[in-house]
């Protein structure tokens, strides 16, 4: 088998603002695994990589995988061969896709899921300036599930403006570590008043001990505090749920293990993503059946996408076709 990879940068349709950064583009690694005339593909984003030089580390890890796969390594072997992150996610996805293409058996069948149907995905409203923020709210008409980025001095006003424009929305908020524990306590009744269903990562990881035993009317979901399977015991003591991102945990194989363990710990499950094309969304879609909250259509905020893509109509994301992935 032959394993190759390439890096590419794709701009966002609009500048993407949140509490910790403002971004204009996403950097992706795309992997192709060929076995004769059959090929499997995978894709991941290098955003929030734990490595000082994400591109160099990713290239090195893909090369490790290439050698190991040539010696017969499979998906389960990757869990110990490579660290959690983008490289393992992309290679893992390519292995899943290649297996499906060889066998004619879809990934959802191999996992043991029912035949997939469209799932409702949430639309993110970014932490932009007022003009872009209001336009994003207006553009959200027709989408029932919204994720509102917070983490500024104007958070109360943003919630009020959101409810003025979208009183009908099923609303969650993502703070991206933007609050102190004291700010969180002050905001909890405000969130409840605006019928917010959950809060994603309200405080920085170094402040999360303040969450232990904290009464809250709204569940708290770990994102920046949660990276991979080994984090679950700590997270279960502090949060009500986890956001599983394939780019962080290292692929679909790892994500399915996390789902099983999260259920054993009575944690609520969200499946999220970083911005990437439909090729990455396709792998994340395989976890959507298990999730209460879904934010996996990162391809919708990019200026380019692979074809065939995954259409999203009024917030309902269609499953990937065999031609795309899996």
Please state the residue numbers annotated as binding site for Mg(2+): 174, 200, 223
What are the binding residues? Answer: 174, 200, 223
How far apart CA 275 and CA 241 sit, in angstroms, is 22
Q: Round to whole Å and give the CA distance between 61 and 66.
A: 9
Q: How far is CA 145 from the centre of its chain?
A: 16
| SS3 label, residue 221 | strand
CA 145, CA 271: separation in Å to the nearest integer?
14
Residues in a beta bridge with 148: 125, 173
Quick one: DSSP state of residue 320? P
> Is residue 149 annotated as a catalytic residue, yes or no?
yes
CA distance 87 to 74: 14
* Neighbouring residues of 231: CB distance < 8 A, sequence distance ≥ 6: 222, 225
Which phi and psi (to 5°) does residue 205 adopt? -55, -35
Residue 173 CA to residue 166 CA, distance in Å, equals 14
* Helix axes of 155-165 and 181-193: crossing angle, nearest 10 degrees: 20
Residue 230 has a CB neighbour count (10 Å cut-off) of 8
| Active-site residue identified among 101, 147, 149, 248 | 149
Cα angle value 41/45/47 (rounded, 5°): 170
> Which of the following is catalytic: 101, 147, 245, 248?
245
Instruction: Mark whether 245 is an active-site residue.
Output: yes
Active site residues per annotation: 149, 245
């Amino acid at each position: 088998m032959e394993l190759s990879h390439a890096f590419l940068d794709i701009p966002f349709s609009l500048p993407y603002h949140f509490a910790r950064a403002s971004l204009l583009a996403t950097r992706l690694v795309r992997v192709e695994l060929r076995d004769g005339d059959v090929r499997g593909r995978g894709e991941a984003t290098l955003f929030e990589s734990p490595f000082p030089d994400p591109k160099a580390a990713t290239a090195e890890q893909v090369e490790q995988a290439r050698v190991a796969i040539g010696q017969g390594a499979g998906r389960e072997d990757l869990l110990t061969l490579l660290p959690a992150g983008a490289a393992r996610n992309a290679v893992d996805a390519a292995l899943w896709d290649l297996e499906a293409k060889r066998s004619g058996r879809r990934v959802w069948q191999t996992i043991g899921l029912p035949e997939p149907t469209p799932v409702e995905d949430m639309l993110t409203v970014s932490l932009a300036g007022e003009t872009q923020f209001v336009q994003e709210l207006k553009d959200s008409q027709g989408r029932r599930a919204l994720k509102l980025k917070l983490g500024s001095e104007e958070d109360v006003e943003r919630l009020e403006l959101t409810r003025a424009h979208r009183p009908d929305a099923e609303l969650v908020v993502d703070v991206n570590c933007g609050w102190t524990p004291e700010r969180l306590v002050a905001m909890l009744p405000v969130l409840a008043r605006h019928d917010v269903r959950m809060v994603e990562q309200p405080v920085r990881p170094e402040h999360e001990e303040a969450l232990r035993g904290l009464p809250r009317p709204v569940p708290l979901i770990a994102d920046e505090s949660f990276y991979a399977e080994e984090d679950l015991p700590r997270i279960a003591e502090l949060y009500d749920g986890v956001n599983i991102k394939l780019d962080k945990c290292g692929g679909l194989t790892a994500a399915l293990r996390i789902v099983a363990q999260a259920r054993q710990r009575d944690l609520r499950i969200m499946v999220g993503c970083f911005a990437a094309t439909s090729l990455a969304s396709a792998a994340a879609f395989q976890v959507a059946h298990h999730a209460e909250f879904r934010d996996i259509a990162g391809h919708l905020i990019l200026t380019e996408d692979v074809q065939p893509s995954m259409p999203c109509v009024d917030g309902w994301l269609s499953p990937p076709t065999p031609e795309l992935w899996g």
